[in-house]
């Protein structure tokens, strides 16, 4: 499944926010990411059209199965890469920023190899 980095970031954000609160709304996403609500609304429309999210009439956003699968993959990559970089001596802030970029471009094969090595 091909999905762009922006969409992956939105899905990951929805996942993170859903772990912290009972419901997620566009305004929550905009606040978390520091984006305008109008930008988030366009992104939510695109994610809804691709069937990665559902939005209730109250404006509550939920990940679909495909959206959750993508979000969990990106979130796992971010957590593992960030903690690995920190263990290598990279500052927490830089590790998080670098992991955010790396999580979108690393192949599944390379990520699994790093994951296997780290888990040893």
Write out pLDDT tens, residues 24-73.
Answer: 999 999 999 999 999 999 999 999 999 999 999 999 999 999 999 999 99
**Average pLDDT for residues 75-90, to the nearest whole number?**
95
Are 76 and 110 within one domain?
yes
Are 58 and 9 within one domain?
yes
Which token pair is 77?
């990559």
Are 60 and 79 within one domain?
no
Query: Is the pTM above the cut of 0.75?
Result: yes
Are 44 and 87 within one domain?
no
Mean pLDDT lowest for which of 3-7, 10-14, 38-42? 3-7
Are 34 and 84 within one domain?
no
Burial class (CB in 10 A: 0-12, 13-18, 19+), 103: buried
Q: What percent of the chain has pLDDT over 70?
A: 98
Are 17 and 39 within one domain?
yes
**What's the pLDDT band for 1 if we cut at 50, 70, 90?**
low
Q: Give the count of beta carbons closer than 10 Å to the beta carbon of residue 51.
A: 11
Identify the sign of the CA torsion 27, 36, 10, 43.
positive
Specify the DSSP class assigned to residue 67: H
Are 20 and 54 within one domain?
yes
CATH number at residue 103: 1.10.60.10
Q: Taking the C-alpha atoms of 20, 23, 28 and 30 in order, what is their torsion angle to the nearest 10 degrees?
A: 110
């Amino acid at each position: 499944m091909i999905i762009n980095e922006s969409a992956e970031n939105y899905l990951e954000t929805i996942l993170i926010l859903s772990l912290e609160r009972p419901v997620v709304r566009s305004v929550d996403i905009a606040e978390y990411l520091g984006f305008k609500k109008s930008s988030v609304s366009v992104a939510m429309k695109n994610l809804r059209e691709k069937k990665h999210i559902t939005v209730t009439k109250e404006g509550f956003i939920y990940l679909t199965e495909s959206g959750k699968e993508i979000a969990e993959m990106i979130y796992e990559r971010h957590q593992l890469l960030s903690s690995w970089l920190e263990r290598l001596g990279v500052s927490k802030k830089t590790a998080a920023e670098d992991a955010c970029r790396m999580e979108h471009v690393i192949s599944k094969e390379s990520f699994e190899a790093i994951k296997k090595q780290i888990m040893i």
